[in-house]
Structure 1
Amino acid sequence: MKRYSLALDLVNDPVLIAKYEDYHQAIWPEIKQSILDAGVVNMEIYRFENRLFMIMEVNDEFSFEKKGQLDAENEKVQEWEQLMWKYQSAIPGAKEGEKWVIMDKIFQL
């Protein structure tokens, strides 16, 4: 099993951050299913102020390309992503249109 760590910022507004968290306490069932269908076995998101940190554990069949293709073909995922973009802000250094960015592991004990 492989693990990825990703980062993303939120719009720095306490009301929007609270709403974003509310959405993530009850994600749409279609979104949960799309994550599982892509090969994600476990996903956790943590927040400090407006910075998000995600840990994804994936099966051997997972690839970001496959997930991107599945997401692009899923109308409900596209609706969710558009909705979430109201709350999200690209992290410094992200490419144009890029949301979550993969972080490099620099230490392990």
Structure 2
Amino acid sequence: MRYCLALDLKDDPALIAEYEKYHERIWPEIDASIRESGITNMEIYRVGNRLFMIMETDATFSFDQKAAADAANPKVQEWETLMWHYQQPLPMAKPGEKWMLMEKIFQL
């Protein structure tokens, strides 16, 4: 299955550069938590301060299970807290909502 998600970064070139630097080599525990959840491929693209994530998953993946596993993993929580220093919610996000699932509106 493929999922596409969006999130904004704080519109500050120095913070954006730091965020990208972290993603040149994510922590091994974060890599492991992504793979163990059933995500088989993940890409993040940026334009300006807008991020676009593409996730490819296997049949075992569940957003609810991933969220529960992340909440129970101190290293993931440390990473998420650090990343939130650079990120900000989309204008239409509900309180506490980060990466927002996008709706596919076209396919060729």
Aligned residue number for residue 71 of structure 2: 72
Structure 2 residue runs without a partner (length 5+): none
TM-score by length of 1: 0.98
Q: Quote the Cα distance in structure 2 between the aligned partners of 1:12 and 1:96.
A: 20
How much identity, in percent, do the aligned residues show? Answer: 64
Secondary structure of 1:44's counterpart equals strand
Runs of 4+ that moved beyond 6 A:
none
Structure 1 residue runs without a partner (length 5+): none
Written as runs of structure 1 = structure 2, the 5 A alignment for 1:1-109 is 2-109=1-108
Once the 2 structures are TM-superposed, how far is the Cα of residue 92 of structure 1 from its aligned partner? Answer: 1.3
Output one character per residue of 1:14-71: Cα deviation in whole Å (capped at 9) or x when no partner.
Answer: 0000000000001000000000011100000000010000000001010100000000
Q: Quote the Cα distance in structure 2 between the aligned partners of 1:35 and 1:92.
A: 26
RMSD: 0.4
